[in-house]
Structure 1
């Protein structure tokens, strides 16, 4: 069995041994020796997977999370399922921030991803079309435009997250999660959060089926 997380930028796979990703347009038609169980937040990319791999099954309906939030994305549900208490941050095309307490999802919010921030600066002015300075210090004011852009992006993200952490543990996942986790002393980076939640959902269904036999 292969688990698959279909996002807006990449399609991620996990086969119990490793995680890998493909660009949606580069998904190849090839036979796999296992069925694919997937969740998706992008219908076009989902269609690409189904065209390339007929033995693919949408498991979104079995990913259940106790929450008052209306319309919570299935990827956010999966990322939160393995965390009883804490702040869960999935930093991908967008940066989602969610709070879990006693296995209940209390709510969350969405920020642009790093790439979206950079694109926004480019749209403002060609003078702001700069590569993100990932080494910028947040302890002192920048003295050049490239650093000023990086500072503005990272300061807005980290300040927002710091405002809700309080005494909670912080868990990062997603493509930019490892980088952003470095700005938080007590953070934990786990690239498996979404896949862990998917596996928890599958295990619950299997257990329920065994009990009904």
Structure 2
């Protein structure tokens, strides 16, 4: 059981805020202002001492979050030491949530020298990042499952309903053709990188990871990767940056 001396970890996404404290996890909508917090989190915020946060949202959401626990020390993961993760470009040009996910891979021992890792975070957007050891070589971003559908709903009269379980097979209906194209697109990207990088390990995380992981051979499904990364940043990076 966790206690209030542990840091509260928060991942502020485009649609939801996910939080973790020890073995407790939860989420709430981040698109609604003011933010409506679950009772359990309100109770935690009354006594919490430290919050470690990563965010893809604009400053107004972060500012509102900070008012929820004004006596806590807030630590925002937005810079990352090159002694731990490297790249051939300015790291600030890449979303901090992606770097935190990479730190999660470091924390889990997936980025040892000579390794090749593909990290897939399937949320509102799908981010795909490639690592050789602890060196980021680039990535892709495409619409997430919901956005993939909503973009067609806005531009057509299809009247689509999102299937709960998309597959990699050819679709036998319009709905499944759209759904399965999303899965197949991600799988094709992974297959391309596997052909170019023998021995590539694939990690899948994010809200729609359970829809993708079954269709990617030997994929590791790690739902708490972002929290592994936030914990690592708090322990090993906070004092450096």
Shorter chain as normaliser: what TM range? 0.7 to 0.9
- Counterpart for residue 66 of structure 2: 50
Shift of 1:62: 4.7
TM-score scaled by length of structure 1: 0.86
TM-score scaled by length of structure 2: 0.77
Contact 1:27 1:48 in 2 (8 A): no
CA deviation map 1:10-37 (0-9, x unaligned): 1111112122111123137651333211
Alignment of 1:11-160 (within 5 A): 11-24=17-30, 25-27=35-37, 31-43=46-58, 44-54=60-70, 55-64=72-81, 65-70=85-90, 71-81=93-103, 82=106, 83-84=110-111, 85-126=116-157, 128-139=158-169, 141-160=170-189
Shift of 1:92: 0.7
Moved over 6 A (4+): none
C-alpha separation in 2, matches of 1:185 and 1:146: 25
**Count of residues paired in the alignment:** 206
Change beyond 3 A, Cα 1:136–1:11:
closer
Determine if the alignment matches structure 1 residue 198 to structure 2 residue 230: yes
Contact 1:91 1:172 in 2 (8 A): yes
C-alpha separation in 1, matches of 2:125 and 2:27: 17
Correspondent of 1:189 among 221, 229, 234: 221
Is 58-67 or 40-49 further displaced after alignment? 58-67
SS of corresponding position for 1:87: strand
Determine if the alignment matches structure 1 residue 7 to structure 2 residue 13: yes
